[in-house]
Amino acid sequence: MIIGTRGSRLAMAQADLAVQAVQGLPGNMRPEIKIITTCGDRDRRTPLEDMGGYGVFTKELDQRLLAGEIDLAVNSLKDMPSSLTPGTRLLAVLPRGPACDVLVSKVPLEQLPPSSVVGTSSVRRKALLKHFRPDLQVTELRGNITTRMNKWRRGDYQAIVLAEAGLDRLGDQTTRFAIDPAEWDPPAGQGAIALVCRDDDASMNIIAELDHAPTRRCVDLEREVMKGLGASCQVPIGVWASPCPGGLLLRCLWLAADGSWARRFERVVGEGEDTGVLVDGIRRQWRWEV
């Protein structure tokens, strides 16, 4: 079995987690890792929203899957479009790590001095920073986690925003401040690792045993909401589902790109509830237009 992944430290760490999980299944499988360079890896300067958004880190892996060069792709689920590439399927989602963002800084967000330079490549994070701290200078920051951390360490930025799950998986102990996901809503799928295969590859069905049901229920709802809204990475939106009594607590946040306004939606979603009706309710409440 050949497992495809990007070559960053975080991608390799996540691929190693997938390999360990696969090796724990019956069948004496011997996975090998193949590194795939994506367009998002080659171009580290262009803002992600100008590169086409979701898929810039996963499209090439899907192409290699469909060409038969790899058998399984390991992705950060938050990087995947809500509509899968035809001919592929989301076979399994590993147990979710923390879904929240963190501020890598010497002080929490509220204590940053006015005009501090804060770096991020995410449209959602930029809008959130401008909404909560309009006095900061929010600037573009591309590159893998190592690159971004190095830029912060040498003083190019007073703070940067990253996903806590990524830092945890790299074992990075740098001082950081968690940002409450109930106020600072994470993107759909953040913290989850996705295993993707060809839709017609029955030999991969055993991998479905790795699917973590609680995580899968949450991320499926998040992705269905994003798909129903037709939202892309050019839209500053967070969608986060978490288990609660009675079902899943769904929190959604849509912001103006300049942070001037924010619209929230929060509701417990019961098992089997019609997602189409749910999304229609969000559209009406928000007066959704994209």
Residues marked active site are found at 79
Can you give the C-alpha Rg of the chain in angstroms? 19
- Exposure string of 41-78, with b = 16+ CB inside 10 Å and e = fewer, is beeeeeebbeebbbbbbbbbbbbbbeeeebbbbbbbbb
Return the bridge partners of 147, or none.
Answer: none
Q: Which two tokens stand for residue 176?
A: 């950081």
How far, in Å, CA of 281 to CA of 189, rounded?
A: 21
- Only one residue has tokens 């290699």, namely 64
CB-hemisphere CA count at 13 Å for 242?
Answer: 15
- Only one residue has tokens 């994470």, namely 186
